[in-house]
Structure 1
Amino acid sequence: MAEENFDIAIVGGGVSGVYCAWRLKQTHPGKKIAVFEASDHIGGRLLSVRPPDIPDMVAELGGMRILPAVQPLITQLIHELNKALPDDEQITLYDFPVDENQNIAFLRGIYLRLADFTQNPELVPYQLNFIDQGQSAGAVIVNAIEQIVPGITNPALTEEQRREMAQSAEFGGVPLYKQGFWNVLLRVLTGEAYHYAEDVGGYDSTLCNWNAADAIPWYLSDFGVDPEYKGFCNGFQQVPLALAQLFEQQGGDIRLASHVSQITLKGDGFSFQVNGSPATAQTLILAMPRRSLELLTPDSPALQDARTQKLITSVTARPLFKLFTTYDSPWWRNTGCTVTGTDGKSFYLPVEAGRSVTDLPVRQTYYWPKSDGKPATEGHAMLLASYDDGDNTGFWDGLRAKRRQPRLPGRQVAELDDPFIGLDDNVMRNELDWHQYKAPRMMTEEVSRQLTVMHSLNYTPRVRNAAFRDWGDDPFGGGWNSWNIGQKSWEVKHAIVQPSDLPLYICGEAYSDAQGWVEGALQTAGYLLEKLGVAPFPRQAA
């Protein structure tokens, strides 16, 4: 079989991979550059699908929002892409709601409204001390962080200044980077306050035991003072798809369903296999998270040196599970509450936007907006019925088969108990994508049961369609990655970009300051491009 030769080979079709490909091809139009993606889609952990019969909604099975105020790279990228995209393909955003006062918190068997945590703290079923009582979950953690690193919550500080403070800080006479976030939090919080913050916050892995020097500035950026999120009208996956489209228009080559293996040194470059066929590249870029790199390592001598392995294992993959359900109507609007205005008049506030939380395994439920960001008030509607990121992801294991198995390219639904085998060729691609991730019947029935309890109802209407994604499955190993205790991330994030003297480079969200966000993928891709003499963004004409 003839050997293919490339100037630059990029393994991984997520944001960092196609972003590098786009900029490298812009800068070096004559070079032969290819992106090899093992799955059947571009985007990595960005996966946007339209549910059947609801054309004005997009389910985000992966990443779903950005924070423009603290994420300049993705904000600038959207601006650059919109300059190159036609009017009918512009990337547009909407205000992404989170906590609405009338939304539900079902915790420790007690039904509350989100407003109760600050307005009626006597109803909250946690034994909080006088300092924490009446505080939101986020405020409890922010106040604890201020005790750990005094001054770091000053709103006048920049993101970089906060990171520098945390990196140089000590707590209890020990450098903060040598301690776990959970460990230091429990030095300044009661156990009840910690569980309150975790349960009400809706996330488990964010407060777990990862490197405290990274967790603290990360938490302040993501969940600090009144974060303002933006969602994507046509789905977040539009960003990597646009990058891939522009790359191909410039003559770049994208190959889906292309499994790379057996990376070895060959002269000044590398040889490798693509679906069993030989190929070479002068420069090799691995745009992959830790688990994907680990899967590639056993038969790839180029990755097996001790330094590279030490850098790869400097982070830990964290779980993430999402389950979407659709209905004939937005039944949750009837679970709102009556409030009294300042004029003394009462009025009804429906539950229709943002999220509700519970300590049941569903954890967070988002009342999904239409593509323009407006709530669904009638007709077919959708929930992000369960959004889990911690131990609760394991609950759903018993309701599915073959956890941690990779989804292979094509219509891989055979593991489901009601597969859509032999779908009509006229089925829209977006609907086919939805059915590729169709939730099993037992999982759908269980999430319906929990939603019924969470919303204090006798029943919830029949689910029309359901789709899920467990990012703990290979080759991702998790929905995001966190720095391990004891790692000097500010050194590792630069060292791993080129872990040896070889022309082999690594980038992605896993080894960044913004772990769990596309911003992190763009940050490390920018470091990589600079090593190759390429500006992260096109330079503006003088």
Structure 2
Amino acid sequence: MVDGNPLLAVLCVTMVMSLADRDVCHDVTVVGGGIGGTYAAWKLRHHELNIGLYEFSDRLGGRFYTYRFPEAPDIPIELGAMRFNNELHPILSRTIQELGLKTGIFRNQDYFSDETMLFLRGVHFRNKDFSENHVPYNLRQNEGKGIQEIYRYLTQKTNFSGDVSSLQKEQPFIVSDDHVRLTDQTISGFFAKYLSEEAVELVANIYRFNLFNITAADVLQFIPKTDIFPVYMTISEGMQQLPEHLVKQFIGASRNHSVRTNHQLISITRNSVDGYTLGFMKTVTSDGKTSPTSQFISVCSQRVILTVPPPALLQINWETLQQRHILSTLKTLNYHVGVKVFLLYDYPWWRDHLIKSDIDSLNSYDSLHKCPKLKNQYSNYYDILHSGYIDNRYDEHIRPTLISDLPIDMTLDFGISNRTGRAVLLAAYSVHDLWSELQKNGEKLNLGHHSVSTEVVRHAHMYLAKLYNINMTVIPTPTAGVISHWDQYPYKEAFSTSKTGVDKETVWRTIHKPSAVDNIFIASGSYSKRTSDAWSEYCLEAVEGIISTYFGNN
């Protein structure tokens, strides 16, 4: 150890290693076994190259992470990526089809259908209630027709064409009608120009924006091209099937291909003989947590593709990454909390309470506004869903999505196990960081690194009781639960967005090949031409751009 720093000790070791000391050599080394790294390796599988894929943990897939409760093994629990759209995510969709993976409709559609339920300011209402202005907000006339109309109105205050398919090309040039680029202003600043405070709060409550950090260019991602909202799909056996099948075909394509898990890249040095020397520290994963060891290896490689998250990039000792303009570009990101809390119950207690509380709240609110007709309307909805639940047809339809201003943000019914009858509820799909603090208190509900704590369960039940308008004592004790918040290395947070004033074209040109004289590439959705890495499609776009430009099509 040098000055108490194990990484400095590793650098001293790797810099004096001779070529003969190296454990292995590759034509191409792909670092990072998430969706970007597995896709890059898969795309290069027929290029007649010796390719090595290296992953920090013991699991391939990164944020494609499917978990299964032992008591409900037929329900894939998605701790990370969980859905995609064929039109909006063409590379992902095409790859899934090419691999022959079975897909189905993601039944929890969190875009707004007429029946999407909202619980805001203590009131239950549905998206279609905007048409009658039966919402607990004091909106202006042009704001009271629904969230889609608010977004269309905002679009009209810019020079955006409205065609989402051309958004990426138009984005750097889109300005509001006061001639300020959207990338140079925050969402809150943009909204404040054209919306009432009530409308700003409504949008924030529904889409859970961090209004003060995200560039206003992200607003345009949510504007639908038509009144027909996109249908989201999922991989039937779990989204993690995608990276696993990519790796399977990659390994099967050549004996020269290899995969090594539990390897953390810590240094890159150029040598005069065969490209680069990569210093890896071996790690060990126990109960889902990955930690460093004192064992190191050295790998030589002609070319390197880095597909690791930004916090991991900042930990790599490579002189190029230490250059001031590169380092400042790497730090052009905002990091955002994203938490999922899944709870397993003996039965789907929420399905009946959901409908009853919905009707009760609506009736109470209706009488306040003298709209008695809604009672029959929602009673009919209750009859449809209740009969569907009784005769087991409920799961044949898209399940209701509940969006709230409670810290759980969004609640999704994940279904009933056909094998055991146990039911899974995504109790919190949240951007609030309180869950990470709650997870530090109480006892673990079950075994495993991702097990929720009893304190998380207690708070989840407290908010669910408000959401369903019931007493906490009515909610049964869950038999198991898991939580994901992606706050540990190498991720830091669930997703990132660009800071305001950032030119994504410049970021892409600077980062994807940070050294003009080196064959080292960075393929990251965080530094793609998009303003966010919230969808894996953007990472795949970055990989495609690098491979087509520097490796040729094969």
Task: Report the TM-score when normalising by structure 1.
Answer: 0.81
Choose from 181, 191, 195 the match for 2:197.
191
CA distance 1:260–1:106, shift in 2 (3 Å): same
1:64-102 deviation per Cα after TM superposition (whole angstroms, max 9, x unaligned): 1112122211111112212xxxxxxx3323243325655
Which of 86, 105, 120 is equivalent to 1:94? 105
Q: Percent identity?
A: 22
Q: 1:125-170: per-residue Cα shift (whole Å, max 9, x none)?
A: 22211111241x34323322322x14533xxx3512x333332233
**Alpha-carbon distance between aligned partners in 2 of 1:496 and 1:279, rounded to the nearest angstrom:** 23
Equivalent-residue separation in structure 1 for 2:379 and 2:479 (angstroms): 42
Residue in 1 that maps onto 2:355: 336
What residue is the counterpart of 1:326 in the other structure? 344
Which residue of the other structure, out of 235, 260, 263, is the alignment partner of 1:258? 263
User: How many angstroms apart in 2 are the aligned matches of 1:227 and 1:493?
Assistant: 29
Question: What's 2:243 paired with?
Answer: 240
Q: Which of 431, 434, 444 is residue 418 of structure 1 equivalent to?
A: 444
Structure-2 change in CA distance of 1:469 and 1:73 (3 Å): same
- Name the aligned partner's letter for residue 418 of structure 1: K
Matched ranges for 1:54-453 at <5 A:
54-82=72-100, 90-98=101-109, 99=112, 104-108=117-121, 110-115=122-127, 117-122=129-134, 124-135=135-146, 137-147=147-157, 149-150=158-159, 152-153=161-162, 157=163, 159-160=165-166, 162-171=167-176, 172-201=178-207, 203-205=208-210, 207-213=211-217, 215-220=218-223, 226-250=229-253, 251=255, 252-267=257-272, 269-275=275-281, 276-294=296-314, 296-297=315-316, 299-334=317-352, 335-337=354-356, 340=376, 347-350=383-386, 353-369=399-415, 379-389=421-431, 392=432, 394-401=433-440, 417-418=443-444, 435-453=448-466
What is the CA-CA distance between 1:330 and the residue it aligns to? Answer: 1.0
1:38 to 37, 56, 68: 56
TM superposition shift of 1:178? 2.0
Considering only aligned residues, what root-mean-square deviation do their CA atoms show, in Å?
A: 2.9
Say which SS state the counterpart of residue 529 (structure 1) adopts: helix
The structure-2 alpha-carbon separation of the partners of 1:274 and 1:444, relative to structure 1 and needing over 3 Å to count, comes to: same
Aligned equivalents of 1:439, 1:36: Cα separation in 2: 30
Measure the CA separation in 2 of the matches of 1:456 and 1:126: 20
Distance 1:420 1:301, change over 3 A: farther
**Contact 1:23–1:534 under 8 Å retained in 2:** no
> What are the superposed Cα offsets for residues 168-211 of structure 1, whole Å, 9 maximum, x if unpaired?
2333233332222321121111111011012133x224x55323
- CA distance 1:175–1:101, shift in 2 (3 Å): closer
Check the 8 A contact 2:118/2:127 in 1, yes or no.
Answer: no
Q: 1:494 offset after TM fit, Å?
A: 4.0
**Structure 1 CA distance for aligned equivalents of residues 225 and 204 of structure 2:** 15
* Residue 51 (structure 1) aligned to one of 56, 63, 69: 69
Matched residues, number: 481
Q: Which amino acid aligns with 2:421?
A: G
Displacement after TM superposition at 1:301 (Å): 2.6
- In structure 2, what is the Cα distance between the partners aligned to 1:395 and 1:531? 44
Task: Classify the secondary structure of the residue corresponding to 2:130.
Answer: helix
Q: Which letter maps to 2:408?
A: V
Structure 2's unaligned 5+ residue stretches are: 1-16, 282-295, 360-374
- Distance in structure 2 (CA, Å) of the matches to 1:182 and 1:76: 36
1:416/1:49 Cα in 2 relative to 1: closer, same or farther (>3 Å)?
farther
- Secondary structure of the corresponding residue to residue 98 of structure 2: helix
2:491 matched to 1:476?
yes
In the aligned structure 1, how far is the partner of 2:225 from the partner of 2:57? Answer: 30
Distance of 1:436 and 1:222 partners within structure 2: 42
Larger Rg computed on CA atoms:
2
Tell me the alpha carbon deviations over residues 265-296 of structure 1, each in whole angstroms, 9 at most, x when there is no partner.
Answer: 223622222222222222111102222212x2
Instruction: Tell me if structure 2 keeps the 8 A contact 1:166–1:216.
Output: no
TM-score with structure 2 setting the length: 0.80
Cα drift, residue 362 of structure 1: 0.7
